[in-house]
Amino acid sequence: MRETARERHPRPRGHLVVPFLFAVVACVPAAADPAGADPRVRAGNRFVVDYPGLPSTLARQPSAMHVSIPTNYDPNRQHPLLLWLNTGEGQPGLGDARGITGGTDFVCVSLPLYRTPEGMAKPGISGILLEETDLPLIWTQYRIMLGDLERMIPNLHPTMRVVGGGSNGAHAAGGLISGTEGEFCRRFHHALFWEGGYLLSDARPMAGGCMMFCWGANSQKARMSVQAKQAADAGVDVETIEMPGVGHDFPLEYHARFRDWLDRKILYAGLPEALQALRQAMGARRWGDALRAVRDVRGKAHVGRPERTEAEEAFGTLCNEGARALDTLKTGTPGPSEWCRFVQMWDSCPCADEARQIANPFAEQELEKILALAGRPRETGLRRYLETWIGFAACGRAREAFDADAAVAYEALTPRAPSGSRPRALRQFIEGWNGSAAVERAREELEAIARAELDEILAITNPARQRHRLEAFARAFDGTDAAREAFERMK
């Protein structure tokens, strides 16, 4: 049952420009670790967060965010997210979202719809149906609410995020995908359109994700079937459902079809293939392949799933095989390379820890040889050592030496690199010392330089000149967040 207490988020209605928006969001205290500092975030709970400072909604009601926590919520698990936008005037509610998910696995959220005052002043249905001119207003409010949600529930899965809606809510979802310069699709990677979505003019921002289009045979078939083909052509994994004999309606029996799609394409994508690979590897006694398959199944199936149970049983068998392999190895006279290969193969099993203890003297001897070197041979030797002797006690000293050498190299960049060549020097440093503590400092500096240059480019008013500069910038700063933003702006 939903909590009666409702959190209130007062926000000045008149200040909706983006710089102020980010300032407001940044001031909201972040939730603590996923163990759950927020008492509302518990299994099976439902609650509402009020936003009296935001504009009134399309339904002429105060703004509010409705949240439902799954009954199998686990603070130590990353949970997928379903954002649901309702039909008509879009008053938020979680009936369809919970009907689709069954109240399990997915955190469900429903947000209201918004229209500009000019749009709401139109007569009849024209005052309800969303238009592209409404998207900036909608996205401004959603950024605030979704930012609060992510702080409230920090263990939301970063990529298993679906936006769905019916009719006018689907129109909003389509517009957010196409009309926010890729910003919305950095948060949401999949979409479900139920008898709506006409504002989806470009599906490319969601390329690589999945979309479900469901239409009534007597209603939206002509338009939505074309949109589905266009989305597939844009690189989206598309499925469609036609509801025979149905007009503009939303029969509840299709909830199960949607949940099946969520399971196959998002929640458990690739799980059947991973389980089959595990079974084949176990049958062929390919223990290394089997251990990799166990890790794959674990990443796709949470505790309690039958596939996860089968993988854990297989892992127990594998650990027993590893212990026998270690006993065999100890009867001979293995050298450093044999010990390293054994540990790398059986790394996730207890036998690997025992092997590390036995072979650590070899690791110490190899490290002393490398520490006696200088310059590039020492740098290369330490990097290879850290990749080879993973988890050995001697790796602690190797890591300290590698980080210390990297810090010296980073400080030496300043006199060698004039201002114009600084980005190039930083990129070379990051490539050469990847994995060291100093690399994070170099990345932050490179990102700051890139961000400042991107801001200058975005201030250019000539579209052709700006695009030319963006193309050169994206190549020069490839790999930075600023370069990714430049790529999105060029789409």
Are the beta carbons of 55 and 114 closer than 8 angstroms? yes
372 and 395 housed in the same domain: yes
Q: Is the pLDDT of residue 487 over 70?
A: yes
Among candidate residues 246, 267, 288, the one where a domain is terminated? 267
Are 69 and 160 in a shared domain? yes
On the question of pLDDT at 13 being above 50, the answer is: no
Check whether residue 316 and residue 398 sit in a common domain: no
CA quadruple 18, 24, 27, 29: dihedral sign: negative
* Residue 4 binned pLDDT confidence (cut-offs 50, 70, 90): very low
- Alpha carbons 226 and 252: distance in angstroms, whole number: 25
**Residue 280, domain member (yes or no):** yes
467: tokens are 């695009």
Residue 190 forms beta bridges with which residues?
A: 162, 210
If you count DSSP H runs as helices and E runs as strands, how many of each does the chain have, helices first?
A: 19, 9
Q: Is residue 27 part of a domain?
A: yes
Using an 8 Å Cβ cutoff, are 81 and 161 in contact?
Answer: yes
Please give the DSSP secondary-structure letter assigned to residue 365.
H
Same domain, 39 and 141: yes
- pLDDT of 417: 56
Q: How many CB atoms lie within 10 A of CB 316?
A: 10
Summarize the confidence of residues 105-134 as an average pLDDT: 95
Instruction: Say yes or no: 10 and 130 in one domain.
Output: yes
Is a pLDDT exceeding 50 seen at residue 415? yes
**Residue 307 pLDDT class (50, 70, 90 cuts):** very high
**pLDDT score recorded for residue 484:** 82
Q: pLDDT tens, 353-371?
A: 999 999 999 999 999 999 9
Same domain for 75 and 167, yes or no, is yes
Residue 305's alpha-carbon distances to 99, 156, 258, 269, 301, in angstroms, are 21, 19, 20, 14, 6
Angle at 193 between CA 187 and CA 199, to 5 degrees: 80
Residue 342 located in a structural domain:
no
Same-domain check for residues 236 and 161: yes
Establish if 337 belongs to a structural domain. Answer: no
Q: What is the 3-state secondary structure (H, E, C) of 258-325?
A: HHHHHHHHHHCCCHHHHHHHHHHHHHCCCHHHHHHHHHHHHHHCCCCCHHHHHHHHHHHHHHHHHHHH
What integer is the mean pLDDT of 420-445?
87
For the cut 50, the answer to whether the pLDDT of residue 302 exceeds it is yes
Average pLDDT over residues 129-136: 95
Task: Say whether both 130 and 245 belong to one domain.
Answer: yes
Work out how many domains the chain is built from and give that number.
4
How much of the chain, in percent, has pLDDT values that exceed 70?
A: 91
Mean pLDDT of the chain: 89
* Residue 125 and residue 182 in one domain: yes
Same domain for 190 and 45, yes or no, is yes
Q: What is the CATH number of the domain that holds 24?
A: 3.40.50.1820
- Per-residue pLDDT at 414: 64
Q: Are 314 and 378 part of one and the same domain? A: no
Q: Map tokens 């190797």 to a residue.
A: 398
Last residue of a domain, one of 305, 332, 359: 332
Residue recorded with tokens 């420009």: 17
Beta bridge partners, 191, equal: 163, 211
20, pLDDT greater than 60: no
In a domain, 344, yes or no: no
Domain membership of residue 391 (yes or no) is: yes
Q: Is the pLDDT of residue 66 over 80?
A: yes
- The answer to whether residue 455 is domain-embedded is yes
Range of the domain at 402: 350-407
Q: According to the model, what pLDDT value does residue 186 have?
A: 93
Q: Is the pLDDT of residue 23 over 70?
A: no
Exposure string (b/e) for 60-98, b if CB count within 10 Å is 16 or more? Answer: eeebbbbbbbbeebeeeeebbbbbbbbbebbbbebebbb
- Residue 372 CB coordination number (10 Å): 10
Together in a domain, 184 and 246 = yes
Q: Which two structure tokens, joined as six digits, stand for 114?
A: 């918004």
